[in-house]
Amino acid sequence: MDKIKEIAIDESFLTPSVRITAEIELKQHKEALISFSGQLVSDGEKIISNLSSFSLPSVTLMAENNAYVKTGTANIKKFEIVLHGELSNAAAEMLEDSRKNNVKRDVRGKVRISANIAESNLSTSHVHEIDLPWLGLGNKVPEVLSHLGTGTNEIKLLAYRFDSNYSTNRTNLWLLAAERANIVKISTRTIELSFEIKASDWINDFSPKIGLGKVLIIEVGRINDTFPEALEHLNNAEKSFLVWSTKGVYAECRELASLLDRKVKEFLGANSFAYKEKWRKAKDRFDALSSLDLHLEDIKNSKYNDGEVRIGKPDAENLMMNAKVLLKYASDLMKEGT
């Protein structure tokens, strides 16, 4: 059965590229793959990338009706092929967006392979050498053959015979025939193979290599020594973002803000100008942003239509950007206070 063995990101190219290793079945000695290409297709039947071939498997075509290859008994053999395609930003985003339709947030799609296959129509017949004495002619050379020599040992007759089990070392005496004069038939075979990339593999192995899952990069200085727990909340928020859990993003960002508030208050003092007038106002603005998902039900009962009251990917990403800004601000205030 044809199948996909591996899908991976090929980092040997300058631009993000996908490498697909597939296994296809051909009739051994009967069929040969002469060229192939393909398409990476999304779960929604959109063409994501055109795929090109890397190399062709080595195959030997043979004629049938002999001891080596009998008619209709060609063994099925598996051949490995490799396809490669570039992943544009739009293609990567399309794969990411397709996860919305999957409960487990896996990536699903198809690889459509167009394979040009040569099929041998050749079969063998055999010519056998026959000594004249075997025919009962003795040593007398028939007049019609006299011009070939004077002795029977110098002359052998050739007899045609069909034998599907025939085998001999004198293969140069074999006759080749083709069905209806078609020696080789060239045809195109379309092979569609489904694939699935688990959410965990997509997040850890694919997204970072193709430029997905990135949010605004903000220089936050040496915060590891000051707020290691805050970084943990931020990392958890980004993991939630990659699995489309906006509730997880909002919850982690609120925890991060509460942690920072305790640290800054303890370090600067509850009645200090930096805490009351600077930090608290920044924190209050962030609280208003991060609490939005807690009040959606109340907002739905207000003047807005139910369909438009929702939180999506842009909102969660905006919140994470602001969380990083808040983290940097807390770090800077504490540096100023030392």
Report the length, in residues, of the chain: 338
* Proportion of the chain above pLDDT 90, given as a percent: 29
Question: Confidence class of residue 72 from pLDDT cuts 50, 70 and 90?
Answer: low
Tens digit of each residue's pLDDT (9 = 90 or more) over 135-187: 666 666 666 556 655 554 556 677 766 666 666 665 566 777 777 777 888 99
- Between CA 52 and CA 9 the distance in angstroms is 15
What are the domain boundaries of the chain?
3-121+182-200, 123-177, 215-336
Under 8 Å between Cβ of 226 and 331: yes
Q: What's the pLDDT at 243?
A: 76
Contacts of 63 (CB under 8 A, 6+ apart): 69, 120, 122, 123, 124, 174, 176
Q: Decide if domain 3-121+182-200 falls under CATH 2.60.40.
A: yes
- Pairing relationship of beta strands 76-86 and 47-53 according to DSSP bridges: antiparallel
Tens digit of each residue's pLDDT (9 = 90 or more) over 99-124: 877 778 888 899 999 999 998 888 77
Tens digit of each residue's pLDDT (9 = 90 or more) over 319-334: 988 998 999 899 888 8
